[in-house]
Structure 1
């Protein structure tokens, strides 16, 4: 699988259908996430928190660009806040989030991720923060 196929499959065949037991198929044991998550289990904890807060969350890949062993993905989701999010009680409000991730691969697995997301925008949309 090419690095871009690997990233697309992570989102479409693992994250969106909630088949998180498949994470080791995509992430190396030495994987390091953007928040310092270690391995597939660390990444799983991060995405499970998002899926708990937004049970209908589904990533839409808008762009996927590759250069060598790195892949940049631009995605969005629109989902309702029906579970706790960082201590914030569910509001039932819908939020749209845009994000960009850069993944690095080695020998057919993802080894590193850097993510930029609009967390403040989500918190504003669910009414947890006002400016």
Structure 2
């Protein structure tokens, strides 16, 4: 991969995260349609039946229902080969049901890391590690 492709892929992943932070499901859906391949392979277990880009849309819809002010702060973007790694801090306020938990009104902050593989400038495959344990502890579902 050339330096120009690495720069483009990093900008694409940042755009993806920025759309997610917008909280506007129309913007999120449109951005997914533009930067994610419809048949994207999501290598992280998600609690939905859908696959591909549709699965991402459903995951983000559920997250924004639970955390309407959700914000992704990109701390690092590292590109090598056809992959970009993103280390993020996610913040939000629990205002809707999340994984069976009723809204608590609590503010949360948790870490996540994504490895994203690109094909022809679009997201083709993702792996994510999300600190769900910390999130659930902050929501009171797991004792401190």
TM-score grouping bracket, smaller chain normalisation:
over 0.9
Structure 1 residue 39, shift from structure 2 partner: 2.0
Match of residue 76 from structure 1: 89
Specify which of 12, 15, 18 is matched with residue 9 of structure 1.
15
Residue 21 of structure 1, CA deviation = 2.4
Pick from 68, 74, 77: which aligns with 1:55?
A: 68
SS of the residue aligned with 2:71? Answer: coil
In the alignment, what sits opposite 1:129? 142
**Superposition deviation, residue 38 in structure 1:** 2.1
Structure 1 moving runs of 4+ over 4 Å = none
Residues of 1 paired with 2:73 and 2:89: CA distance?
A: 5
1:35 to 45, 50, 54: 45
RMSD: 1.4
**How many pairs were matched up?**
130
Q: Distance in 2 between matches of 1:86 and 1:32?
A: 23
Mapped partners of 1:52, 1:110: distance in 2:
24
Unaligned runs of 5+ in 2: none
Give the one of 122, 126, 135 matched to 1:109: 122
Distance in 2 separating the partners of 1:61 and 1:32: 22
User: Which moved further from structure 2: 21-30 or 34-43?
Assistant: 34-43
TM-score, scaled relative to structure 1: 0.92
Question: How far does residue 106 in structure 1 lie from its aligned partner after superposition?
Answer: 0.1
